[in-house]
Amino acid sequence: MATIYYFDALVDAGLVEFFEKTVKPAVIGSGATVLAYLANRAQREHFSRVPVREGENVFVWFARFNDPAAYERHIAALTQIPRWRDEISKELARRLKRQPEILKLSTTTRSLL
């Protein structure tokens, strides 16, 4: 799964710290395996073979689940965590420019995952 968070400005150290100390432990506690998280940079990309979303400020994190049912269990468990429901999700929503984009990805036969 890839989750894309959109912001009005570049992602700063405060947002990364919020993810690392608050969001990540909650999603791990509800069954996700966080694989990686990335943010875009201010400088222009000069590697033309890779498409880049220019003019957007994003933070993307990737999680792994054993199957679609595990993802559904994760979502159900996450919404049952009082701190997630009452604090974390509200703070995250306050920071976002718009709703997160969630992409459900599948591994290929050559994938190391």
pLDDT for 63-90, tens place per residue? 999 999 999 999 999 999 999 999 999 9
Per-residue pLDDT averaged across 25-39, rounded?
Answer: 95
Q: Is 5 exposed, middle or buried (0-12, 13-18, 19+ CB in 10 A)?
A: buried
**Res 18: pLDDT:** 96
Residue 5 to residue 108: CA distance in whole angstroms: 25
Residues 11 and 100 sit within 8 Å (Cβ to Cβ): no
Tokens at residue 111, please?
A: 């994938």
Enumerate residues 6+ apart whose C-beta is below 8 A from 66.
none
